[in-house]
C-alpha cells in the first residue's frame, strides 16, 4: 500500500476528539459526489492539496459540525491511500450515527462529473485501504456502497458496479509506484509533538504555548507574529520556532517548527510539564494490584494516568479509573496491546515500553524508565 499519513499531507488537527471504535462490520465505499476535474488524473502533486481542501470544507460545514474530514481514508487517482480519520476512529460519512459505527468509509477522488471512472491504480488503492482496515482496524468482511442503507447516489455508477462485483483487484499488474507527495512548501508543518506531557505544534493550547511564544520574542524570533503570542499555537508560532531551530543549526525536517525536547530546553532553559509515567512503576503495579485486595494501589498517580488513557480509548469503563492497576485494567491494557499489533503472550496486559509510549503519545504523557 502506498500510504500518506495525516502529517505528510498537512492535515489540520481534529476539531473534537475522534470517537474510538474497536471494530466495524466492514467498509463502505464513497465518491466525492461533486465535480472532480479530469486534469487531477494527470497531476499527483494536486492530491495532497485536494485532501487539505476536502478537510477544510468538512471542518467548515456548519450543518454537520464535523470533528474532522469525514472519511476514514481517501484514495487518489494514482492509487495512494491518504489517511483520513484513520483506523479505529468512527467515521462521519455514512449518513447517521448507527451507520457510522457500522462501517468505515473509504472515498475515491471521483465525481459525478469530470473524473467519473476509477483508474486501475485507484481500484488497487481502494482494495489496499480495505485490506489495511481489515488488518489494522478490526474491519469485518462487508464491502458496500454508501447507497446501501442510505438514500444517496454515492458512490456513483462505475464504482458501485465494482463494489457489487466484490471489489476485485484489476486484472492488470499493480500500478508503478508514484513518488510520495512532497510536504507542501506553502503550508507550515501542522502536527503536534508531546514533550514531557505537554503538547506543542499547530492547534496545541495552553500556558506552555504562551511561554514558548514569549521566549521566542525575547530571543528575537517573533517576526511572524501579527498578534500574540498567546495560548493557541498557530502557523506563526511554527514559523518563528522554525527560525529559532535554524539558528541552532537544524535543517530539513528538524527545522520544521515543531519543538523537540532539545530545542525547547535551549529556548526555555528548562523543560516545562509534568505528566510522566515510569515504565517500571506501572509494570510493578500491573503485577501487584490484581492479586492484592480490591482497589489496592501500588503507584496510584501513574496507574491513573494510564487508566484514563485506556478509558479515552474506550477500552476501560470510566468507573475503573481509580489508580488501582487491577484485573480490569490489565484486561484493558491487553486489548491496547492487541490494537498495537501484539498477540498471544505479548498481549498479556503487562505494559511494555513500545505500547506505553504509543499510549503516551496519543494521550500526552511521557514514559520514563
Interface residues with Zn ion (CB under 5 A)? Answer: 30, 44, 47, 76, 78, 146, 154
Nearer to Zn ion, 155 or 257 (CB): 155
Nearer to Zn ion, 78 or 89 (CB): 78
Nearer to Zn ion, 156 or 188 (CB): 156
Nearer to Zn ion, 87 or 109 (CB): 109
Nearer to Zn ion, 89 or 339 (CB): 89
Q: If we measure between CA atoms, which residue out of 201, 178, 231, 143 comes closest to residue 364?
A: 201
Q: How far is the CB of 47 from Zn ion (least distance, A)?
A: 3
Residue 119 Cα distances to 122, 159, 181, angstroms: 5, 10, 19
Q: How far is the CB of 8 from Zn ion (least distance, A)?
A: 13
Q: How far is the CB of 91 from Zn ion (least distance, A)?
A: 10
Q: How far is the CB of 50 from Zn ion (least distance, A)?
A: 8
Q: How far is the CB of 30 from Zn ion (least distance, A)?
A: 3
Q: How far is the CB of 115 from Zn ion (least distance, A)?
A: 11
Helix axes 353-363, 327-339, angle to 10 degrees: 90
C-alpha 286 chain-centroid distance: 28
Residue 70 Cα distances to 37, 57, 261, 347, angstroms: 21, 10, 33, 32
Nearer to Zn ion, 44 or 103 (CB): 44
Q: How far is the CB of 153 from Zn ion (least distance, A)?
A: 9
In whole angstroms, what is the distance from residue 296 CA to residue 241 CA? 45
Nearer to Zn ion, 111 or 360 (CB): 111
Q: How far is the CB of 328 from Zn ion (least distance, A)?
A: 38
In whole angstroms, what is the distance from residue 220 CA to residue 240 CA? 9
Nearer to Zn ion, 17 or 113 (CB): 113
Amino acid at each position: 500500500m502506498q500510504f500518506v499519513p495525516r502529517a505528510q499531507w498537512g492535515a489540520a488537527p481534529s476539531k473534537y476528539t475522534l470517537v474510538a471504535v474497536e471494530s466495524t462490520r466492514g467498509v463502505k465505499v464513497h465518491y466525492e459526489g461533486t465535480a472532480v476535474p479530469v486534469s487531477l488524473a494527470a497531476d499527483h502533486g494536486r492530491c495532497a492539496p485536494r485532501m487539505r481542501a476536502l478537510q477544510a470544507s468538512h471542518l467548515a460545514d456548519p450543518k454537520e459540525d464535523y470533528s474532522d474530514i469525514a472519511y476514514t481514508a481517501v484514495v487518489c487517482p494514482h492509487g495512494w491511500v491518504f489517511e483520513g480519520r484513520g483506523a479505529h476512529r468512527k467515521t462521519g460519512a455514512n449518513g447517521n450515527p448507527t451507520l457510522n459505527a457500522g462501517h468505515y468509509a473509504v472515498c475515491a477522488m471521483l465525481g459525478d462529473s469530470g473524473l467519473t471512472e476509477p483508474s486501475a491504480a485507484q481500484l488497487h488503492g481502494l482494495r489496499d485501504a480495505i485490506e489495511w482496515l481489515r488488518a489494522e482496524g478490526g474491519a469485518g468482511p462487508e464491502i458496500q456502497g454508501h447507497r446501501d442503507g442510505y438514500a444517496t447516489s454515492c458512490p456513483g455508477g462505475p464504482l458501485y458496479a465494482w463494489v457489487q462485483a466484490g471489489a476485485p483487484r484489476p486484472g492488470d499488474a499493480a500500478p508503478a509506484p508514484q513518488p510520495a507527495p512532497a510536504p507542501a512548501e506553502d503550508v507550515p508543518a501542522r502536527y503536534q509533538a508531546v514533550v514531557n506531557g505537554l503538547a506543542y505544534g499547530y492547534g496545541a493550547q495552553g500556558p506552555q504555548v504562551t511561554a514558548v511564544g514569549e521566549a521566542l520574542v525575547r530571543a528575537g524570533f517573533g517576526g511572524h507574529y501579527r498578534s500574540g503570542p498567546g495560548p493557541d499555537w498557530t502557523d506563526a508560532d511554527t514559523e518563528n520556532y522554525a527560525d529559532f531551530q535554524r539558528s541552532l543549526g537544524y535543517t530539513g525536517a528538524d527545522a520544521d517548527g515543531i519543538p523537540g525536547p532539545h530545542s525547547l530546553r535551549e529556548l526555555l532553559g528548562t523543560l516545562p510539564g509534568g505528566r510522566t509515567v515510569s515504565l517500571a512503576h506501572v509494570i510493578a503495579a500491573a503485577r501487584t494490584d490484581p492479586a492484592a485486595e480490591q482497589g489496592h494501589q501500588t503507584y496510584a498517580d501513574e496507574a491513573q494516568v494510564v487508566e484514563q488513557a485506556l478509558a479515552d480509548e474506550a477500552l476501560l469503563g470510566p468507573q475503573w479509573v481509580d489508580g488501582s492497576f487491577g484485573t480490569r485494567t490489565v484486561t484493558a491494557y491487553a486489548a491496547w496491546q492487541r490494537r498495537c499489533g501484539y498477540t498471544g503472550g505479548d498481549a498479556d496486559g503487562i505494559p511494555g515500553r513500545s505500547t506505553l509510549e504509543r499510549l503516551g503519545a496519543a494521550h500526552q504523557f511521557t514514559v520514563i524508565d
